[in-house]
A and B are shown apart, each in its own frame.
Chain A
Amino acid sequence: MKIDRRCFLSFGLGVTAGTLFSPLPWKLMDDASIWTQNWSWTPVPEPGEVSEVNTVCTLCPGGCGIRVRKVGKRAVKIEGLSDYPVNHGSICPRGFSGLQYLYGPTRIKSPMKRVGPRGSGKFKKISWDEALATVKDKLQDLRTKDMPHTLACIAGSDRGTVSYLIDRFLTAYGSPNYIRDASSRDADELALYLTQGQDGSMGFDFENTNFILSFGAGLMEGWGAPGRMLNLVGSNVDKTVVQIEPRLSDSAARADKWLAARPGTEGTLALGMGHVIVREGLYNRDFIDNFSFGFEDWSDEAGNTRQGYKALVLNHYAPSHVADITGISAVEIESVARAFAGAAKAVAISGRGQGRASDGVDECLAVLCLNALKGNINRPGGIRAVAEPDYLTWPEMNVDLTASKGRQQPRIDGAGTGAYPNTRYLINRLPAAINSAKGDSPVQALFVTDANPLYTMNDPEAAKKAFSRIPFIVNFSSVMDETAMYSDILLPDHFFLEKTRDVPSPPGVPVPVIGLAKPAVEPLYDTRHLGDTIITLAKSFGGFVETAFPWEDYGTFLEQTLADVWSDLDENGFWIDEKAAPKPWLEAFNTGSRKYEFYPAALANSDGHGYHPKVLEGAASLPGGEKDYPLVLIPYDSIRLSCGILAPSPFMMKIIDDTVLVKNNGLVEINPETAARFGLSEGSGVVLKTPAGRARVRVHLFSGIMPGVVALPHGLGHRAPDKYTNGKGININALINDVSDPVSGMNMAWGIRATLEKV
């Protein structure tokens, strides 16, 4: 009985046979295959009841209607809401990836107090009571010292109930310094006020027009309400679109005609087209003769003859001359001008990209004049001033002496003062006002809401320096961004999809549509509605500040304030102001002459120059000499990148082309011709230098950009604790200096001189 190798072989055979006749291999194989189909790291929502909540997107001012699909308590999808009057079902990539913001890693989860140096991102969690008490003590201290005017607030908007609550708090407290973040709205509003005497935003009736002449507005890049614009110009529509832009953007690519004018000369081009229309008598005679002022030469109060629009364009903006400035041939200028004037309904629009940054008033006025020549103001398919609907009912308020004295102090940013009488907000002047002040900073306490100035402002280093002089910064942001990192107390607001609030009428929409954002999910963290935070804070002051806020909470306040429209809003999710139909020309204008004013006579500046569509011509006005900086750097926008206060979502970072960002390297677009001149090829590493700063980038050769111009996108180069965007690409705002509009004081920098150095 010997046990040898044969026995073991036999044993092995037995095991093999037995195993094959047992379920073990077959079951294991089955389980393994199932395992490969159910990776544990693939997110799958918990099972639950499927429901849908209709609400309004508040990730940008566009205010598109959205439908949020939920499984159980978790939101799983965002879709466009088809029966919403703004976007009719379309939304942008930021909108449909919005849940990545909601559930993303950048949320601020509770009130926080800074413990490390500013910008270090070191915060300590504190309770709401402690946070509010800290803010109240600091503000009370300022009031006791009779310095309530040293409180300022930087806010993303000045519309809607939450903005009004903050403004009301500032009024009751005693500060005149409510500062709205910069956007193209600044120039649009001022141009409307000067020419039409109207307070309101500019509405474009694109739905009913046949011809869109865009002087750089990124109709496809997320301008206005992106969902609306995607419907109007994103698919094949029976409109002629002419896009004027130095770069082949998505809008330009979709347009019927693309004119690459030299950047910064768009206003001049508009005046050149005005010349053609006037010279050939193609303008709307009824409107110009009967309802406009300043077209012909006119006499001022002193009896001096002043040049009108007609003489201005005829004498100074002949197409041959304009062709030299803009680089567009005279024949082209004439043909587009004739097509615009000859279209049944046509509208001209100024602006750059998404319009999230400010632009020049002069340029805006020059383009507005084309609309006046067309006579499309308040007409179907034209433009109109959209006044903010008067839908809020406010109780009277009294203020105490401290507040009254504080309110009479001049604004820190200089808006509305002698130098800039018609400008409402000048956030771009705030850093200089603080940095140049002797002694203590004129801002002793700052509120920041719905704004990220340390990212969005040109020259963020100057802004950081100014912020470092402000002793107390309170930020209401829901996400940790560059400005929140620099703040002292964080009082996080409920985020997008977590709260009820009214959504002001979106930019560019010709009829006022007030939306109601409703919570789709319960607040995820220990956050608080900004409206409630303000009401609680005001109540803690006692006295007149408290009595100005008679509401128990934001919910009650909203229902009472929206009194008449609340039921409509609550039921439909939106409310359209039917009374806001455009007025006939006879009643439309509130200017001194009761007409549309080509030259706003009553609002002439003290130096006698006044506002006039005399555009700063060409790149010459940009800082930096042509010798040291032979190129011009311009920013560009993309609907796949959010260029406002929020960083792009992880999804958006995935859908941008590798011609924009490769790993962490930003790519600068340059024409192959220019690249050859600099000895650069695709992918070359270069240092991009401007008078404002420098950045390491790589070269992307792009025939769609003008020779001599280089471009970087807005929206990259964030420096906040978000691994999806932190340090990826370049923040172009840091490479551009402010260019102050001498008349309005607003920043009108559309680019900067630049050069490239090979590394």
Chain B
Amino acid sequence: MSTQAEPQAAIPADTVSGSGPVSDGTGNITGGNTGPGASSGWMVLLFFIIGLAGSLLVGWIAFPHLLYEKKEQPVRFSHVIHMDQVDDGCNSCHYFRDDGTFAGVPDLASCEDCHSDEAMGEDPAEQLFIDDYLSKEKEIPWLIYSRQPPCVFFSHAAHVKGADMSCESCHGDYANSKTLKTYEQNRISGYSRDIWGYSISGLGSGAPDGPRPMKMNDCAACHLKETGSKGACFQCHK
């Protein structure tokens, strides 16, 4: 290797960009691309801009579309209709169990507290729910927008009861939704898009009515603001 190092060291520093003479690696110096046929600076700039703009478009617009797989919920569900029927708001179906744990998305047994084989309304989606799930005693495979991975311990009780936070402050306003939005699943990590947030840059705190991002940094930022500390590892990773 030392035979190559010597001639390379002889190259003047200002010719390395490619227009000066370059070593062919054997010790001979060959001519650079400096003739009258060389492209103009504008052309070089144009290509730079094309590359820059193209990759920005890919990174900001095409990439999110490719990254997330869109899935529809198995049953079309209207929170508006249900909120009219229940007495206790969100808590009617998304309730705390006796042991203080949070039930999350209701299971079929909770649906059966009100629903029976007879449809209660006229929406064909309800009939579909009865035929496909209720009468077959089959759980609805809901796609959960805000599911954290199993390594995360999250207590709804601490936030909802302890800190008196409302559901929508994190999950966004579901109560007024007539349908459930399309579930977007990250093809690599398998997470719901709600965890990262809809801003692909990961910046900002989400749309005013939408869900708040729920990555670890988002937890820490809110905790820092509200409690003065980001919290310790083992508070969530038990």
**A27 & B67 in contact (Cβ 8 Å cutoff):** yes
CB B151 to nearest CB in A, in angstroms, measures: 7
**A10 & B47 in contact (Cβ 8 Å cutoff):** yes
Binds B, one of A34-42, A309-317, A389-397, A696-704: A34-42
Q: Any chain B CB within 8 A of the CB of A19?
A: yes
Binds B, one of A1-9, A410-418, A550-558, A621-629: A1-9
**Which parts of A1-36 form the interface with B (CB within 8 Å)?**
1-19, 21-24, 26-28, 30-32, 34-35
Q: Any chain B CB within 8 A of the CB of A657?
A: no
Q: Which residues of A contact B189 (CB under 8 A)?
A: 30-31, 34-35, 38
CB B89 to nearest CB in A, in angstroms, measures: 21
Residue of A nearest to B60 (CB): A22
Tell me, in angstroms, the Cα distance from A37 to B150 when the chains sit together.
Answer: 10
**Given the contacts A18-B52, A49-B97, A5 and B18 also touching, CB distance less than 8 Å:** yes
Residues of A in contact with B, size category: 35 or more
Residue of A nearest to B61 (CB): A22
Q: Any chain B CB within 8 A of the CB of A302?
A: no
B63 in complex: contacting residue of A3, A15, A23, CB < 8 Å:
A23
**A24 & B44 in contact (Cβ 8 Å cutoff):** no
A37 in complex: contacting residue of B48, B52, B63, B151, CB < 8 Å:
B151
A4 in complex: contacting residue of B33, B45, B64, B186, CB < 8 Å:
B33
Tell me, in angstroms, the Cα distance from A50 to B55 when the chains sit together.
Answer: 48
CB B20 to nearest CB in A, in angstroms, measures: 13
Residue of A nearest to B101 (CB): A50
Q: Any chain A CB within 8 A of the CB of B165?
A: no
Q: Which residues of B contact A742 (CB under 8 A)?
A: none
B55 in complex: contacting residue of A2, A18, A49, CB < 8 Å:
A18
Q: Which residues of B contact A5 (CB under 8 A)?
A: 18, 33
Q: Which residues of B contact A31 (CB under 8 A)?
A: 67, 186, 188-189
Q: Which residues of A contact B54 (CB under 8 A)?
A: 14-15, 18
Q: Which residues of B contact A22 (CB under 8 A)?
A: 55-56, 58-60, 63
Q: Which residues of A contact B29 (CB under 8 A)?
A: none
**B44 & A10 in contact (Cβ 8 Å cutoff):** yes
**A14 & B103 in contact (Cβ 8 Å cutoff):** no
Tell me, in angstroms, the Cα distance from A170 to B61 when the chains sit together.
Answer: 77
Q: Any chain B CB within 8 A of the CB of A655?
A: no
**Given the contacts A23-B200, A24-B63, A49-B97, A11 and B104 also touching, CB distance less than 8 Å:** no
Q: Any chain A CB within 8 A of the CB of B50?
A: yes
**A4 & B63 in contact (Cβ 8 Å cutoff):** no
Q: Any chain A CB within 8 A of the CB of B99?
A: yes
Q: Which residues of B contact A21 (CB under 8 A)?
A: 56, 59
Q: Which residues of B contact A2 (CB under 8 A)?
A: 37-39, 43
Residue of B nearest to A34 (CB): B189
Q: Which residues of B contact A13 (CB under 8 A)?
A: 48, 51
Tell me, in angstroms, the Cα distance from A402 to B18 when the chains sit together.
Answer: 108
**B39 & A7 in contact (Cβ 8 Å cutoff):** yes
**A24 & B59 in contact (Cβ 8 Å cutoff):** yes
Quick one: which of A9, A12, A27, A35 has the most chain B CB within 10 A?
A27
**A27 & B202 in contact (Cβ 8 Å cutoff):** yes
**Given the contacts A23-B59, A23-B60, A23-B201, A44 and B50 also touching, CB distance less than 8 Å:** no
Q: Which residues of B contact A11 (CB under 8 A)?
A: 47-48, 50-51
**Given the contacts A11-B47, A31-B186, A23 and B202 also touching, CB distance less than 8 Å:** yes
Quick one: which of B54, B55, B63, B196 has the most chain A CB within 10 A?
B55
CB B128 to nearest CB in A, in angstroms, measures: 23
Quick one: which of A21, A23, A28 has the most chain B CB within 10 A?
A23
Tell me, in angstroms, the Cα distance from A37 to B148 when the chains sit together.
Answer: 13
Give chain A's interface secondary structure class: helix
A18 in complex: contacting residue of B39, B53, B64, B104, CB < 8 Å:
B53
Q: Any chain B CB within 8 A of the CB of A47?
A: yes
Q: Which residues of B contact A15 (CB under 8 A)?
A: 51-52, 54-55
Tell me, in angstroms, the Cα distance from A720 to B74 when the chains sit together.
Answer: 42
CB A248 to nearest CB in B, in angstroms, measures: 41
Residue of B nearest to A33 (CB): B189
**A6 & B48 in contact (Cβ 8 Å cutoff):** no
**A9 & B18 in contact (Cβ 8 Å cutoff):** yes
Q: Any chain A CB within 8 A of the CB of B219?
A: no
**Which parts of B143-172 form the interface with A (CB within 8 Å)?**
147, 149-151
Q: Which residues of B contact A26 (CB under 8 A)?
A: 202
**A18 & B51 in contact (Cβ 8 Å cutoff):** yes
**A1 & B191 in contact (Cβ 8 Å cutoff):** no
**B52 & A14 in contact (Cβ 8 Å cutoff):** yes
Tell me, in angstroms, the Cα distance from A421 to B233 when the chains sit together.
Answer: 71
**B147 & A47 in contact (Cβ 8 Å cutoff):** yes
Q: Which residues of A contact B67 (CB under 8 A)?
A: 27, 31
Tell me, in angstroms, the Cα distance from A6 to B38 when the chains sit together.
Answer: 9
CB B149 to nearest CB in A, in angstroms, measures: 6
**B188 & A35 in contact (Cβ 8 Å cutoff):** yes
Q: Which residues of A contact B58 (CB under 8 A)?
A: 18-19, 22, 24
**B48 & A10 in contact (Cβ 8 Å cutoff):** yes
**A6 & B37 in contact (Cβ 8 Å cutoff):** no
Q: Any chain A CB within 8 A of the CB of B11?
A: no
CB A5 to nearest CB in B, in angstroms, measures: 7
Tell me, in angstroms, the Cα distance from A2 to B188 when the chains sit together.
Answer: 42
Q: Which residues of B contact A12 (CB under 8 A)?
A: 51
Tell me, in angstroms, the Cα distance from A32 to B189 when the chains sit together.
Answer: 7
Q: Any chain A CB within 8 A of the CB of B27?
A: no
**B188 & A28 in contact (Cβ 8 Å cutoff):** yes
Q: Mark B23-49, 1 if CB is under 8 A from A, else 0.
A: 000000000010001111001111111
Q: Any chain A CB within 8 A of the CB of B231?
A: no
A3 in complex: contacting residue of B39, B103, B150, B151, CB < 8 Å:
B39
**Which parts of A28-71 form the interface with B (CB within 8 Å)?**
28, 30-32, 34-35, 37-38, 40, 44, 47-50
Q: Mark B166-199, 1 if CB is under 8 A from A, else 0.
A: 0000000000000000000010111100001000
**A7 & B202 in contact (Cβ 8 Å cutoff):** no
**Which parts of A154-202 form the interface with B (CB within 8 Å)?**
none
**A32 & B47 in contact (Cβ 8 Å cutoff):** no
Q: Mark A344-367, 1 if CB is under 8 A from B, else 0.
A: 000000000000000000000000
**Which parts of B78-131 form the interface with A (CB within 8 Å)?**
97, 99, 101, 103-104, 107
**B99 & A50 in contact (Cβ 8 Å cutoff):** yes
B51 in complex: contacting residue of A14, A27, A44, CB < 8 Å:
A14
Tell me, in angstroms, the Cα distance from A47 to B156 when the chains sit together.
Answer: 15
Tell me, in angstroms, the Cα distance from A26 to B18 when the chains sit together.
Answer: 31
**Which parts of B3-18 form the interface with A (CB within 8 Å)?**
18
Q: Which residues of B contact A8 (CB under 8 A)?
A: 47
Tell me, in angstroms, the Cα distance from A15 to B49 when the chains sit together.
Answer: 9
Tell me, in angstroms, the Cα distance from A627 to B123 when the chains sit together.
Answer: 90
Q: Mark A649-675, 1 if CB is under 8 A from B, else 0.
A: 000000000000000000000000000
CB A158 to nearest CB in B, in angstroms, measures: 40
Q: Which residues of A contact B45 (CB under 8 A)?
A: 10
Q: Which residues of A contact B190 (CB under 8 A)?
A: 35, 38, 40
CB B56 to nearest CB in A, in angstroms, measures: 4
Tell me, in angstroms, the Cα distance from A35 to B185 when the chains sit together.
Answer: 13
Tell me, in angstroms, the Cα distance from A198 to B189 when the chains sit together.
Answer: 67
Tell me, in angstroms, the Cα distance from A13 to B151 when the chains sit together.
Answer: 40
CB B46 to nearest CB in A, in angstroms, measures: 8
**A47 & B202 in contact (Cβ 8 Å cutoff):** no
The 6 A-B residue pairs with the shortest CB-CB distance in the complex, in nearest-first order: A22-B59, A14-B51, A18-B55, A14-B52, A34-B189, A24-B59
Interface residues of A (CB under 8 A from B): 1-19, 21-24, 26-28, 30-32, 34-35, 37-38, 40, 44, 47-50
13 examples of A-B residue contacts, CB within 8 angstroms: A6-B39, A11-B50, A11-B51, A14-B48, A14-B52, A18-B53, A21-B59, A22-B60, A24-B63, A27-B67, A27-B200, A44-B150, A47-B147
Interface residues of B (CB under 8 A from A): 18, 33, 37-40, 43-56, 58-60, 63-64, 67, 97, 99, 101, 103-104, 107, 147, 149-151, 186, 188-191, 196, 200-202
Q: Please name 12 further chain A to chain B contacts, defined as beta carbons within 8 Å, in addition to the given A2-B38, A14-B54, A28-B188, sorted by A numbering.
A: A1-B39, A11-B47, A14-B48, A18-B58, A21-B59, A23-B59, A23-B63, A26-B202, A31-B67, A38-B189, A47-B104, A49-B101
